[in-house]
Chains A and B, each alone.
Chain A
């Protein structure tokens, strides 16, 4: 549209926009109601975590704290901080390793293809649908059989292996959008497979790395099942398992549990807040050309 046409069309468009706002009112109301429903438990979570233990009974769950206190948060931090540390020791190497493996896999599955690449990829996809429960016992037996280092290393290994299908899928789909010419140009410039990956592909993989890293970080951080099964030494528990054992001395300390739950979920929340927009961009990368 030329500038002149754009100017001419402007009043009409403004009219249309106002019209749309009025028409969208019921839709917005519905969305608002749904949002409130979703956020209600979060409200209770937050409010309760800021109460004293005496105020936390079910009949007053909805009321604001009479006395605002961060007592529960301090206690939660005291109890959970070693486990938060464990979780970090688990999730950071596991995420780095599995995204790196994913990008290598995605690369050879889409850009440096080998005979049978599609068949291999199909098997990768199957891997995504194997439930944890199905492999838990064989996995534990394998670990014992090869005397794999106890605790967090086992958990890292399990998550890295389990992360291969999804990360490979993310990277493969992202790499599919990169023109083949680029790989061939690298080949003509005398680059081998690893050199092409390292110098040409890796530097332009940021969007896929963000998506895969967020995905892996979240699912590894939140995992409970593998952690409770694989890690036998309570000192090596990640925070999800430790959360289950947060206790007080006499009554059920709801305020403490709520604070602990919030504390345990803060890192994933943070990851989303910081990287969320890259996440969307990365997910969209396959859909739009250029």
Chain B
């Protein structure tokens, strides 16, 4: 197995478009790193540069300590799983899986053995004589995995391998791929636009936007300590509520959100470096699950937001409650462009200047549209961002 190191990797296409900008990443041996971001963020281009399907404009790529910039794709010992599976339509499942071994001049009996092993591993034993046309989406996906696994390569690259499957199968295959990767211990780079996939599968997650790395870290770190406004809004579903607020100039630390003032505990203020922002505007972020309804009692401190409920959505395990907050909306420009419709809707709901918050409540809390109530804010779990730089206000953050 091998580690992968990207040093200031850049890709500029002939038309001048810079898809990847000085991307530096170190992917450890046997690690599963997820590259995640909205479409057009450069994640697939980055993957294709590692694969050797795309030339590297500048920067350096090392796999297992060897510089790979000028090494042909076939000599990089990498296997790739494609979004559309890219199975050879005229070959049977067995031939598809065996193709790379045949080219690698592996002896016939060994090919047979390895194809059988791989098929057993993936539950494809009964399908070896079928052609891709006769397979379901999930089976095709497995064959594509088999084609990669059978090579026993140093590195797996996966380009949105689950995006063509229906939701249920996707969840199942997600688990299977993750288990398989752990079992084989092959260093893997996994590209997806689906942040749920990223959070559930990745040992670490690298968030990309417009070709630039935003943050890299474990799923919990990226979720709990987003480095900037973009990551905060992109990771998590429903997304983090973001609004402009002001840090009170004097007295105990508190945040003014419109007409409401939320007291902030000292240690939270210290952790987030809020003293430096006294009397200044900040962007306040709070995840829907850190807003609590009246049914959850008074265990959440004194911070309350008055809420007139605009919309209630039941998603089974929870009740999503939408209400207006009279503080300006603070989704970053990039995010607003990405979720255009939603942001617009939110602005309309909030009556133009305000923002719309979403809270995730107990499914049977009995809240209805038109209810007026006080929503408890878990202030220990607030996020703060500088409105100028859009970066977190945490002083320790890199």
Contacts and interface: CB of A to CB of B under 8 A. Distances in A.
Interface of A: 179, 181-182, 184-192, 195, 199-200, 203-204
A184 B53 contact: yes
The DSSP consensus for interface residues of chain A is helix
A203 B91 CA distance: 9
Nearest to B79: A188
A204 B73 CA distance: 24
Interface string B82-98: 11111111100000000
A204 B90 contact: yes
Interface string B32-55: 000000000000000000011100
Interface residues of B, number: 23
Interface in B194-213: none
Nearest to B48: A184
Interface stretch (B99-107, B323-331, B349-357): B99-107
B74 A185 contact: no
Contacts of A199: 88, 99
Q: Which 8 pairs across A and B sit closest by C-beta, in order of nearness?
A: A181-B86, A190-B74, A189-B100, A185-B86, A203-B90, A188-B80, A181-B82, A190-B103
Contact of A191 (B79, B84, B103): B103
Interface string B8-46: 000000000000000000000000000000000000000
B99 A187 contact: no
Given A181-B83, A204-B89, A190 B100 contact: yes
Contacts of A190: 74, 100, 103-104
B149 interface: no
A191 B74 contact: yes
Given A181-B83, A199-B99, A187 B73 contact: yes
Given A179-B84, A181-B82, A189 B99 contact: yes
Contacts of B83: 181
B13 to A, nearest CB: 14
B103 A184 contact: no
B74 A187 contact: yes
Contacts of B52: 187
B254 to A, nearest CB: 55
B88 A182 contact: yes
A186 B86 CA distance: 9
Contacts of B151: 189
